[in-house]
Amino acid sequence: MELHLFVNGKEVTTSVPENRRALDFLRKDLGLKSVKEGCGEGECGACTILLDGKAVCSCLLFASDLAGRRVLTLESLGKEGHLHPIQQAFAETGAVQCGFCTPGMILSVKSLLDENPSPDDEAIKKALEGNLCRCTGYVKIIEAVKRAVAIIKSQGLMI
Amino acid sequence: MEKNPLTLIGTQLVRSDASEKVLGAAKYVDDLHFSDTVYLAIRTAEVASGALRSIDISKARGSHGVLAVLTHADIPGENQMGSPVPDYPILLKPGDEIRYVGDYVAFVVAHTREQALRAAEKVTVMVAEKKPVLSLNERIRELQKGGDYVPAVHQKIRKGDSDPKTMFDSCDYVFEGDFFADYQEHAYLETQGMIALYDQDNVMTIYGSMQCPYYVQNGVARALGFPINRIRIIQSVTGGAFGGKEEVPTYFAIPAALAAYHLHRPVKLVLSREEDIQWTSKRHPIKSRYKVGIADYGRLRSIQVEAHADIGGHSTLSPTVLWRSSVHAAGAYEIPNVRVDVYGHYTNKVPSGAYRGFGSPQVFIGIEGIIDDVADHLKKDRLYLRKINALEKGKTTPTGHLLPESVGAKKTLEEVERLSDWERLKERVAQFNREHKHLKRGVGIAHIHYGVALGAMGHALDASGAFVNVLPDGSISVHIGGTEMGQGAKTVIGAIVGEVLQQPMEKIHVYQTDTFFLPDSGPTVASRTTVFSGNAAVLACQELLKTLTALYSTEMAVPPQSVRYTGGVFSNTEGQKPVGFGELAGIALKKNIGLCATGWFQTPRLTWDPENGFGEAYVTYSFASQIVVVEVDCLTAEVVVKEVYTAHDVGKALNPDGVIGQIHGGFVQGMGYALYENLKVNEKGKIVSDNFNTLTIPTIHETPEIFKVSIVEEPFSKGPFGAKGIGEPSLIPTPAAIANAVSDAIGKRVREIPIRKEYLLDLIRTAP
């Protein structure tokens, strides 16, 4: 089928098989390797993308579900030497160990902070409950979100 | 050369791989792509026990997109991947015994993974099925019957009077108890995967997710019948391992390599989560029986432990894992009389193997539970009882190892006492319990030791290399034989190199592990990498400094003994004639002086008597003490961990943030084991909970709100800057501490982990 959508700010027009998972379309067809597959069942959150600003599991969607919508993957955030405040906070806080959950985790945080720039602990946990991490025990991840909030506020940034 | 103040070691460091990981740019195995790649699927036996009669691959071969279907006849080398016990054929041939549902029958290669999976279903096998042995109890009964059944593994410790008839004679009290610790699945977020390329130089090159590239190299060489020098293993960025990528990745590298060998095309095999859980090792289920004798108002006098482990269908690493269980079974205490027997039994289930803690968390729940029983019976404080029995410098471990140094055991106990404000904590919890009827809080303690590195049983593998190369621009490349799997090896090794060479982290690049650069450096396991790769890196850097010092001395006409090196600058004793590291490196390279060096660190020798299970078990021990507070809803058996206080003797925290990260992560993983992670196996020997919808691992909601950590530093003289290991000791006390806390809350001894709700409800409802 014909597919027209916006990926990381760019217009994409392509054709995909109807049963192509959004995850495979992004990873394999568009080469956006930050989108990870951890379980294929929408349980682990490694494949999180932002769809019109909301964090969703791309393994549970078909490519066709993306038609006409805005998709953001981690590739769109920072660049080497110019990290996005959430990326900077994750790096500096020690919220990254093996890094496999990190892309999805950061996108879930972005979705949260776009909606709620000053989340409390409960809001942070709620926003990240769908992102599993097996390395950090989540302690530093919660700290990183708070640090990201502080960086964003101190720089007067809009994210 | 004089000592300089530390500038990197012990400071706050940003992970050297943080940037690529937060950008999503780190390349895990499935992110690597080579053109013309073909995909592999594995056809497994699908029955747990029986004899393979025949294999028919004709339908699979004709299936759409299929390039090859490989069976036992297509193995050019040895059809064997079992090590050290050769009980694990790569591909079953007719007549072979099927030992578990995941035994391999055929490898199907196709243009796409979906085609390969579809074709794999079309491989038909005839099997003479047998009733599988799925219960550990069945094996224990067989052993107790005293017939000719011989367990696959038997490890033992004997110290002092170890005769069960007499060893308790001199004790005032004797306590007994049975315990059971079930499976645990590693649940690393990145599933296992490999890419094999049979290309340049006629070498089989394999990229993959793994902890132990040298295991993979040896295993693939054996399967292909190649000399080891034609196998190259490059570890890709690895998304967590926890022991699950120790012996197991070889079982996926071999199929990929076989297919690449036959097809001369890159072959990729990345497991689905279900395949990963079905086919990869688990923490050993262990049943244990403890008998502990006490004298002198609470001193441990005698201990007898009999433990039985379910090793699954193949023995893999079980002899080594269960040796570690035996060494740690009597706990982190001084006990004169010890008798430990740990048996490993085959069943027709997934092979058990390495998992963070390596057979020790399952036995610590036993000794730590009994210690609480002792304290309660004698009406003594549980922390006090641990203190009076704790190991100290000059005391001997339960294997008879006289500890000469680096024993922070008591300090960790004192630290958790301080951190938790122990007396008030107990009062706080008692107050809560007076005010609540159905919600009950409990306090649990656990105190552990952990032998660092491979120990007396693993001497032959316990050496590691590092290669350090200074480039013309003064940048430094570092190769180590240990691997980065998320724990922070690259960062800590970078800091060690930077510290010795007095260069900033930005100048140092630590590479992914590649077997072409260094000799077999053993596995990245047993909390040994900081010590082993770290020491090797120190040795290499010291060589480089020797070369540079000699050069400076010649160039500046200064006697070698009066060369000073401070803050990255060479000078004479008065601090004159300064030349920076980079500048001197440039001069050296222009003069054709090589600035690369290899460091090779061998384990200090240990004296061990394997016949009697006695002696120096490990080069050194890390120690930890932990206190947790749980809240139990006695109506629903819901358990929540509210507070954690944990202290760890790591020798020296080279990267304190990294150490704390290990402690947080290890705790939550241990908490998952204690409370949530039920791995269910059905009557056909298949795992039922093979994805995260049925296997529950902790989410962010389960992270305790109060989490206080104390790092104790009792330096290990043979560790780099005094360091010992932390990777595993971060998890080990947790299941025992939580089991003890739940016991405290309900007033009855919890004897099983995971503490399933049905079990806990029964326990709550039965009279004490």
Buried b (16+ CB within 10 A) or exposed e, B189-215: bbbbbbbbbbeeeeebbbbbbbbbbbb
Sorted by where each begins, the domain ranges of chain B are 18-25+472-602, 32-131+186-279, 286-455+609-765
Residue B575's pLDDT band, with cuts at 50, 70 and 90, is confident
Number of Cβ within a 10 Å radius of residue B758: 8
Average pLDDT over residues B250-269: 98
Substitution target in B189, B190, B277, B355 with the highest count of A β-carbons within 10 Å is B189
Contacts of A77 in chain B (CB under 8 A): 23
What is the Cβ-side half-sphere exposure of residue A5, based on CA atoms within 13 angstroms?
A: 23
Q: Is the predicted pLDDT of residue B697 greater than 60, yes or no?
A: yes
Q: Is the predicted pLDDT of residue A83 greater than 50, yes or no?
A: yes
Substitution target in B695, B700, B703, B734 with the highest count of A β-carbons within 10 Å is B700
Sheet bearing B508-510, strands edge to edge: B508-510, B476-480, B463-470, B596-602
Pairing, β B569-571 against β B579-580? antiparallel
Residue B335's pLDDT band, with cuts at 50, 70 and 90, is very high
The pLDDT of residue B296:
83
Substitution target in A32, A96, A122 with the highest count of B β-carbons within 10 Å is A96
- Cβ burial, residue B624 (10 Å; 0-12/13-18/19+): buried
Q: Does B190 touch chain A (CB under 8 A)?
A: yes
Buried b (16+ CB within 10 A) or exposed e, B98-112: bbbbbbbbbbbbbee
* Helix (H), strand (E), coil (C) string for B247-310: CCCHHHHHHHHHHHHHHCCCEEEECCHHHHHHHCCEECCEEEEEEEEEECCCEEEEEEEEEEEE
Q: Do A106 and B28 touch (CB under 8 A)?
A: no
Q: What is the DSSP letter of A99?
A: -
Contacts of B18 in chain A (CB under 8 A): 90-92, 96
Q: Do B700 and A142 touch (CB under 8 A)?
A: yes
Each residue's pLDDT tens digit, B30-62:
999 999 999 999 999 999 999 999 999 999 999
Q: Is the predicted pLDDT of residue B621 greater than 80, yes or no?
A: yes
Average pLDDT over residues B555-564: 94
**CA–CA separation, A26 vs A35, rounded Å?**
7
pTM to 2 decimal places: 0.97
Size of interface A-B (CB pairs under 8 A): 164
Question: What are the structure tokens assigned to B26, written together?
Answer: 């780190």
Fold of B18-25+472-602: Aldehyde Oxidoreductase; domain 4 (3.30.365)
Q: Which residue has the tokens 């951190």?
A: B419
Contacts of B186 in chain A (CB under 8 A): 134
Average pLDDT over residues A3-13: 97
Q: Does B31 touch chain A (CB under 8 A)?
A: yes
CA angle B372, B377, B380 (to 5 degrees): 70
The pLDDT of residue B78:
98
Query: CA separation (Å) from B458 to B324, B454, B473, B633?
Result: 11, 5, 41, 45
Question: What are the structure tokens assigned to A78, written together?
Answer: 């920072």
> What distance in Å separates residue B554's CA from the closest CA in chain A?
41
Query: CA separation (Å) from B207 to B204, B217, B515?
Result: 10, 11, 11
* Helix (H), strand (E), coil (C) string for B377-443: HHCCCHHHHHHHHECCCCCECCCCCECCCCCCHHHHHHHHHHHHCHHHHHHHHHHHHHHCCCEEEEE
Each residue's pLDDT tens digit, B755-765:
999 999 999 99
> What distance in Å separates residue B472's CA from the closest CA in chain A?
24
Each residue's pLDDT tens digit, B152-190:
999 999 999 999 999 999 999 999 999 999 999 999 999
Substitution target in A97, A109, A125 with the highest count of B β-carbons within 10 Å is A97
CA-based end-to-end distance of chain B: 66
Bridge partners (DSSP) of residue B122 are none
Q: Does A123 touch chain B (CB under 8 A)?
A: no
The pLDDT of residue B1:
46
Q: Is the predicted pLDDT of residue B768 greater than 70, yes or no?
A: no
Shortest CB distance from B691 goes to which of A43, A78, A90? Answer: A43
Q: Kindly compute the dihedral angle of the four CA atoms of residues B269, B275, B277, B283, in this order, to the nearest 10 degrees.
A: -60
- Nearest of B627, B672, B307, B286 to residue B447 by alpha carbon: B627
Query: CA separation (Å) from B4 to B8, B564, B566?
Result: 11, 10, 7
Nearest CA in chain B to A39: B273
Nearest CA in chain B to A35: B24
Residues B171, B294: contact at Cβ < 8 Å?
yes
**CA–CA separation, B736 vs B30, rounded Å?**
37
Q: What is the CA radius of gyration of chain A?
A: 15
The pLDDT of residue A159:
52
- Cβ burial, residue B46 (10 Å; 0-12/13-18/19+): middle
The pLDDT of residue B3:
67
Nearest CA in chain B to A92: B14
Q: Which amino acid is at B390?
A: A
- Secondary structure element (H or E) that encloses residue B517, with its range: none
In this chain, the answer to whether the domains covering B32-131+186-279 and B286-455+609-765 adopt an identical fold is: no
- Nearest of B526, B535, B373, B342 to residue B451 by alpha carbon: B526
Shortest CB distance from A91 goes to which of B14, B186, B664? Answer: B14
Q: Does B144 touch chain A (CB under 8 A)?
A: no
> What distance in Å separates residue B328's CA from the closest CA in chain A?
25
Contacts of B21 in chain A (CB under 8 A): 91, 96, 99, 102
CATH number of B32-131+186-279: 3.90.1170.50
**CA–CA separation, B181 vs B528, rounded Å?**
25
Average pLDDT over residues A33-62: 98
Each residue's pLDDT tens digit, B278-320:
999 999 999 999 999 999 889 999 999 999 999 999 999 999 9
Q: Do B488 and A39 touch (CB under 8 A)?
A: no
- Nearest of B497, B506, B578 to residue B537 by alpha carbon: B497
Residue B731's pLDDT band, with cuts at 50, 70 and 90, is very high
CA B102 to chain centre: 23
The sign of the dihedral angle between the CA atoms of B349, B350, B353, B357 is negative
- DSSP-derived 3-state class of residue A50: strand
Q: What is the DSSP letter of B208?
A: E
Substitution target in A98, A131, A146 with the highest count of B β-carbons within 10 Å is A98
Here the ipTM equals: 0.98
Above pLDDT 70, what percent of chain B? 99
Each residue's pLDDT tens digit, B420-452:
999 999 999 999 999 999 999 999 999 999 999
Q: Do A102 and B17 touch (CB under 8 A)?
A: no
Residues B187, A98: contact at Cβ < 8 Å?
no
Q: Which amino acid is at B723?
A: A
Fold of B286-455+609-765: Aldehyde Oxidoreductase; domain 4 (3.30.365)
Pairing, β A2-7 against β A70-72? parallel
Q: Which residue has the tokens 């298949």?
A: B686
Each residue's pLDDT tens digit, B144-153:
998 899 999 9
Residues A45, A130: contact at Cβ < 8 Å?
yes
Please provide residue B329's backbone torsions phi and psi, each rounded to the nearest 5 degrees: -60, -35
Residues B178, B347: contact at Cβ < 8 Å?
no
What is the Cβ-side half-sphere exposure of residue B484, based on CA atoms within 13 angstroms?
A: 31
Nearest CA in chain A to B664: A137
Residues B310, B211: contact at Cβ < 8 Å?
no
Contacts of B190 in chain A (CB under 8 A): 36, 38, 98, 100
Number of Cβ within a 10 Å radius of residue B469: 18
Instruction: Give chain A's domains with CATH numbers.
Output: 2-76 (3.10.20.30), 85-154 (1.10.150.120)
Residues in chain A: 159
Residue B71's pLDDT band, with cuts at 50, 70 and 90, is very high
Q: Is the predicted pLDDT of residue B557 greater than 90, yes or no?
A: yes
CA-based end-to-end distance of chain A: 34
Residue B5's pLDDT band, with cuts at 50, 70 and 90, is confident
Instruction: Give one word for B445, left, alpha or beta, with left for phi > 0 and alpha for psi -120 to 50.
Output: beta
**CA–CA separation, B565 vs B577, rounded Å?**
12
Contacts of A99 in chain B (CB under 8 A): 17, 20-22, 26, 237, 239, 486
Question: What are the structure tokens assigned to B601, written together?
Answer: 């660190």
When the pLDDT of each residue in chain B is averaged and rounded to a whole number, the result is 97
